[in-house]
Chain A
Amino acid sequence: AAGVIQSPRHLIKEKRETATLKCYPIPRHDTVYWYQQGPGQDPQFLISFYEKMQSDKGSIPDRFSAQQFSDYHSELNMSSLELGDSALYFCASSSRVGNQPQHFGDGTRLSIL
């Protein structure tokens, strides 16, 4: 079965640079979620999109923005990167029909030098 695809898998950036993370949800899923998982921590919700519209916002810094495109893929844009942004970034997708569970990709590991 198709899964959530994230790219790149690994990304190394320096402070104050920008980064773009991509997520391709499972086909026919209408909702995309972004989570941040710091070392040894649980995933923290950042932002979500339902049918290409932002539906909820969590603890996402103002330096970060995201959008969902007409083909349902989503991108998380991160600017003025800081050392504390080093983390695993997960994308998940689900269908609100029947309240299906969220399925996660394998994440993008972002390292800030």
Chain B
Amino acid sequence: EDQVTQSPEALRLQEGESSSLNCSYTVSGLRGLFWYRQDPGKGPEFLFTLYSAGEEKEKERLKATLTKKESFLHITAPKPEDSATYLCAVQPSNDYKLSFGAGTTVTVRA
């Protein structure tokens, strides 16, 4: 069974204080690893797809990286508007459904 573990559960940052979120996974062949951002009461908002080890994607203050066993979401110089829950999900090679981790809730204080 596919497993996704995210750490830490919660992260409190000062504005401008860079940090990283971890997503460890086990899957029987990886079609893709996805990062989403979720605000309270809203649906997950797509951020990145990573397909193979060594791949990196960047968008504004966010950068996602992938190895064979884990992915990192780096937040550089965060702003209060980056406060959200960040979800990691894997899609196995023999399927299309997503298995999500429990998420990391990031709070950025001004």
Which residues does A use to contact B, with CB under 8 Å?
Answer: 4, 31, 33, 35, 41-45, 48, 50, 55-56, 58, 88, 90, 92, 94, 96, 99, 101-107, 109
Contacts and interface: CB of A to CB of B under 8 A. Distances in A.
B96 A56 contact: yes
26 contacts: A31-B96, A33-B98, A35-B98, A42-B87, A42-B100, A42-B103, A43-B44, A43-B98, A43-B100, A45-B99, A48-B96, A50-B96, A55-B96, A56-B96, A58-B97, A94-B96, A96-B96, A99-B32, A101-B34, A101-B46, A102-B34, A102-B46, A105-B43, A106-B41, A106-B42, A107-B41
Interface residues of B, number: 22
B95 interface: yes
B73 to A, nearest CB: 15
B43 A41 contact: no
Q: Which of B31, B43, B101, B103 has the most CB of A within 10 A?
A: B43
Interface of B: 31-32, 34, 36, 41-46, 49, 87, 91, 95-103
